């Protein structure tokens, strides 16, 4: 109804509306630099107008308004841009992780450099070349350079193994952090639903949840299903063989019926005497939810696996689990926590993007570069030994290998080999990690074979010339551990004969330095590709974030303009109340006079 009291009520409502708008503006300004904050805006609408004219009410020119009210405080957010940013953040996480470890591989190999393997190979063959000129004086130099080369190979091998272990440790840390993030998202999910059920807008809580979702997207990509009362149901994009109905890692309803991830800490072969070509039993120990803080979380089971399955598990290390961290089957049921289980019942989580995928995939790269070193070490050992070892009175006897398998070789107190047969047989298992110089040579340099035969005289350097020439020999280094398993395979490929004096290059082979340079070049290209992808992703995300900030970010200039607007409106409403007060004074007190 119209009248002064109605006008007074309209102005009162107006003051409350502007006060609420000022509160919202103040909140925006206070959080201008808060990470993840989305600006908020009061939605102001007119209140219900006075009733329509009827038989009992006087007709008026039109419906008379009753003022304004704040119906809600909305959060300004572009949901599609959130999706785009999280998708690209997952790709960034993948290449960030990959580049981190590839750059560490580059640091380990340290090429090009004066102390790297390439330089040491050159110095090793230079020393053999010097032997051809000064057979007596340069013997020690050859052995010292060979020892330096072997130790550098050993060191690089051990560093690469540690780097792979570091990658696995980063998976464990990501699993533990990811599970914690999921727990926080779940808690916020429940709080948001409770606030919405009470008829209010949980804007700040949703901002916190979105910030956690952004953080989670760096680890792996996922899908979000919007549920009622602003609830989010989350499933990873890559669920593998798991039943989709069982793949929820966050649920708004029945929120305890969700899945988590656990970390496989150890894979130990039960019977090491079995043939590695067949499936074997392994003791697999995983920690619930990736929490290594207590042994109470450790679960050990026996799994029969092939070598390929064992390698797959070794690189992944991440398994699906129930809410308590116990591993699950494809139908969501839990596996036993003791005894034996089938490999197929241990569900691996293998994301196709994100930090976790990068850490999983880069292990294969580290293994590949480790294998390149192994091939180089074995090629060196086979080729040098094929020429050096046959030099005694019985020239057909393989009795003085230059490089040996350090894990097999045994010596007595006088540094003499005590297990020559095992040393020769162990040669085919030489790796960059165990290659070493024959200790018998190191302690008696005169046993170094430089001549065609042992009694050929000091001036005979025929064998040293052949060994020095191996620098430019073409050897199928790339086939080591494939078609070249033992030294006799190399002899067949390179037509090594005449007690090592005849060494024919294989046109399909490579020189030592070219093979190693090719390995370094591939590493460089792979590392640069990862770095370039990171740069592109950062530029793309920078563009997306600018768009996001233009929508959701707080502009202090805009907020100050709004503040002035709301202040003037508040003052104007107050002025109306003051005016109505004067009019009421006229009506109430003025009529007496």
Q: Given pLDDT bands bounded at 50, 70 and 90, which one contains residue 329?
A: very high
Residue 326 scores a pLDDT above 60? yes
Quick count: other Cβ atoms within 10 Å of Cβ 557? 7
The angle at the Cα of 507, spanning 505 to 512, to the nearest 5 degrees, equals 60
Q: Judge if the upstream peptide bond of residue 336 is cis by omega within 30 degrees of 0.
A: no
Residue 570 scores a pLDDT above 80? yes
Can you tell me the distance from the alpha carbon of 104 to that of 523, in angstroms, rounded to the nearest whole number? 11
Quick count: other Cβ atoms within 10 Å of Cβ 250? 25
Mean local confidence (pLDDT), 438-452: 90
Percent of the chain whose predicted confidence (pLDDT) is above 70: 95
Residue 20 scores a pLDDT above 90? yes
Q: Given pLDDT bands bounded at 50, 70 and 90, which one contains residue 294?
A: very high
- Tokens matching residue 157: 């091998």
3-state secondary structure of 394: coil
| pLDDT score of 535 | 97
| pLDDT score of 66 | 87
333-383 pLDDT tens trace: 999 999 999 999 999 999 999 999 999 999 999 999 999 999 999 999 999
Can you tell me the distance from the alpha carbon of 367 to that of 164, in angstroms, rounded to the nearest whole number? 8
| pLDDT score of 275 | 72
Q: Given pLDDT bands bounded at 50, 70 and 90, which one contains residue 452?
A: confident
Q: Out of 4-18, 343-357, 540-554, pick the least confident.
A: 4-18
Mean pLDDT of the residues in the chain: 91
Distances, alpha carbon 400 to alpha carbons 146, 156, 213, 420, in Å? 15, 27, 64, 9
Q: What pairs with residue 43 in β-bridges?
A: 72
Mean local confidence (pLDDT), 485-499: 85
| pLDDT score of 540 | 97
Residue 393 scores a pLDDT above 60? no
Q: What pairs with residue 308 in β-bridges?
A: none
Residue 55 scores a pLDDT above 60? no
Q: Could you report how far apart the first and last alpha carbons of the chain are, in Å? A: 28
Residue 52 scores a pLDDT above 90? no
- Judge residue 137's burial from the number of C-beta atoms within 10 Å of its C-beta, 0-12 exposed, 13-18 middle, 19 or more buried: exposed
User: Cα Rg for the chain, rounded, in angstroms?
Assistant: 38
Q: Given pLDDT bands bounded at 50, 70 and 90, which one contains residue 114?
A: confident
Mean local confidence (pLDDT), 572-576: 93
401-444 pLDDT tens trace: 999 999 999 999 999 999 999 999 999 999 999 999 999 999 99
| pLDDT score of 61 | 62
Could you tell me if 109 and 156 are in contact, meaning their C-beta atoms sit under 8 angstroms apart?
yes
Long-range contacts of 573-580 (CB under 8 A, 24+ apart): 573/11, 573/12, 573/14, 573/15, 573/18, 574/11, 574/15, 576/7, 576/10, 576/11, 576/14, 577/8, 577/11, 577/12, 577/15, 580/4, 580/7, 580/8, 580/11
| pLDDT score of 80 | 93
Percent of the chain whose predicted confidence (pLDDT) is above 90: 78
Q: Which of 39-53, 380-394, 512-526 has the highest mean pLDDT?
A: 512-526
| pLDDT score of 32 | 95
Question: Between 81 and 589, where is the model more confident?
Answer: 81
pTM of the model: 0.90
């Amino acid at each position: 109804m119209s009248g002064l009291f109605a006008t007074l009520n309209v102005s009162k409502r107006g003051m409350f509306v502007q006060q609420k708008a000022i509160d919202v503006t103040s909140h925006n300004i206070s959080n201008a630099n808060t990470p993840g904050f989305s600006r908020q805006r009061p939605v102001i609408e007119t209140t219900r107008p006075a009733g329509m004219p009827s038989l009992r009410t006087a007709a008026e020119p039109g419906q008379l308004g009753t003022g304004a009210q704040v119906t809600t405080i909305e959060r300004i957010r572009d949901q599609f841009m959130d999706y785009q940013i999280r998708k690209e953040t997952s790709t960034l996480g993948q290449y960030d992780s990959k580049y981190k470890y590839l750059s560490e591989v580059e640091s380990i190999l340290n090429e090009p450099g004066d102390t790297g393997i390439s330089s040491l190979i050159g110095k090793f063959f230079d020393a053999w070349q010097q032997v051809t000129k000064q057979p007596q004086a340069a013997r020690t130099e050859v052995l010292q350079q060979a020892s330096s080369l072997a130790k550098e190979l050993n060191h690089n091998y051990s560093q690469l193994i540690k780097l792979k272990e570091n990658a696995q440790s980063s998976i464990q840390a990501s699993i533990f952090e990811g599970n914690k993030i999921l727990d926080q998202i779940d808690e916020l999910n429940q709080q948001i639903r409770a606030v919405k059920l009470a008829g209010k807008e949980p804007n700040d809580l949703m901002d916190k949840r979105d910030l956690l979702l952004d953080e989670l997207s760096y680890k792996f990509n996922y899908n979000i299903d919007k549920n009622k009362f602003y609830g989010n149901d989350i499933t990873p994009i890559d669920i593998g063989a798991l039943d989709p109905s069982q793949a929820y890692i966050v649920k708004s309803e029945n929120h305890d019926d969700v899945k988590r991830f656990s970390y496989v800490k150890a894979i130990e072969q039960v019977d090491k005497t079995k043939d590695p070509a067949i499936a074997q039993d392994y003791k697999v120990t995983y920690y619930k939810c990736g929490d290594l803080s207590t042994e109470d979380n450790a679960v050990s089971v026996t799994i029969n696996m092939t070598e390929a399955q064992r390698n797959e598990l070794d690189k992944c290390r991440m398994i699906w689990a129930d809410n308590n961290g116990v591993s699950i089957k494809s139908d969501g049921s839990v596996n036993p926590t003791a005894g034996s289980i089938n490999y197929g019942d241990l569900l691996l989580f293998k994301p196709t993007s994100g930090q976790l995928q990068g850490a999983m995939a880069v292990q294969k790269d580290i293994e590949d570069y480790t294998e390149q070193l192994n091939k180089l070490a074995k090629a060196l050992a086979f080729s040098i030994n094929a020429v050096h070892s046959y030099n005694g009175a019985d020239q057909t006897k393989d009795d003085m290998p230059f490089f040996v398998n350090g894990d097999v070789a045994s010596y007595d107190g006088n540094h003499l080999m005590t297990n020559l047969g095992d040393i020769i047989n162990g040669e085919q298992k030489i790796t960059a990690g165990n290659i070493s110089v024959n200790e018998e040579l190191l302690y008696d340099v005169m046993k170094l074979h430089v001549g065609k035969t042992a009694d050929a005289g000091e001036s005979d350097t025929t064998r040293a010339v052949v060994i020095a020439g191996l620098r430019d020999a073409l050897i199928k280094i790339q086939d080591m551990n494939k078609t070249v398993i033992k030294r006799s395979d190399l002899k067949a490929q390179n037509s090594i004969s005449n007690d090592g004096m005849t060494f024919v290059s294989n046109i399909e082979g490579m020189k030592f330095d070219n093979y190693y340079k090719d390995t370094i070049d591939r590493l460089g290209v792979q590392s640069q590709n990862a770095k370039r992808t990171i740069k592109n992703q950062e530029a793309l995300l920078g563009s997306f974030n600018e768009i996001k900030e233009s929508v959701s970010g707080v502009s202090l200039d805009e907020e100050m303009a709004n503040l002035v607007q709301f202040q003037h409106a508040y003052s104007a409403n107050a002025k109306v109340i003051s005016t109505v007060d004067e009019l009421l004074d006229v009506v109430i007190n003025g009529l007496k006079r």
